[in-house]
Amino acid sequence: MDPLGLCSLEDKTEYLHAALAAAGLFPLLGIFPDLLDTLLYLLEGDLANAGLSAVAVLPGIGQLSRLGQYLKKLAKYKDKLLTLGKTAWKYAGDLKNLAAKYGSDLKKWVSNKIGAGAKKTGQFRDAQGKLRNSDGTFAYDGGPKTKTSNSTHGNTAGDQPATLYERYDADGNFLKHGISQDPSKRYTQNELDGGYLIETQTGPRKDILKIERDLVETNPGPLNKEPWAGSRKGQ
């Protein structure tokens, strides 16, 4: 089969010569492929290669003869090899461009599909893609659940310590109010992208959640995506 149309009858004959040449490398038995190769070249009227194939029958000297034939064939097909290489490189570039063009759209589509399922349970995803409950606490988002004993989960509205923070971008623009047990570990440097956090208050999480709720309702930042964000803005 030749789906790309790269092989003419002449090319296919060359492949037969290459196969015979490879078979001729076997000690003793290689004499017969070399003789057949010589005969084929004579029928084609290619006296030069017929002579080289005939010499290949001789032990030792024949190896040098075959080397000369291989180099000649490689030079003959260098243009087709270069064309194939350029075509492969072009397709690789096209795939890279498609990934750059549609990769973000695919990511958003997947995120929206996941988020749609969450909304049915009153849950939502914040600007960082974290799944939260309707009260703003983090929700279970897949993966194995770990059992804890005599301890309170960090996202439970209990008496465990929590810190209220404000997030700003690299230009000092306010982005959102948030809560974390450890704001220094809340975001990666890539997520902050030159921005920073300011810790404003620390206390029991159940109290800090109420304060954050009030701030988000009355003075939300652009990244406060909670359903209640801005519900009492201006009050």
Q: Is the pTM of this model over 0.85?
A: no
DSSP β-ladder status, 174-180 and 196-204: unpaired
Could you report the per-residue pLDDT of 59-98, keeping only the tens digit for each? 655 555 555 665 566 566 667 767 777 788 878 877 877 7
Could you report the per-residue pLDDT of 197-206, keeping only the tens digit for each? 999 999 999 9
pLDDT at 201: 92
What gap in Å lies between CA 17 and CA 155, rounded to an integer? 74
**SS3 labels along 94-143:** HHHHHHHHHHHHHHHHHHHHHHHHHHCCCCEECCCCCEECCCCCECCCCC
DSSP code string of 58-83? STTHHHHHHHHHHHHHHHHTHHHHHH
pLDDT at 128: 72
Where do the domains of the chain lie? 9-76, 123-136+155-235
What gap in Å lies between CA 156 and CA 192, rounded to an integer? 25
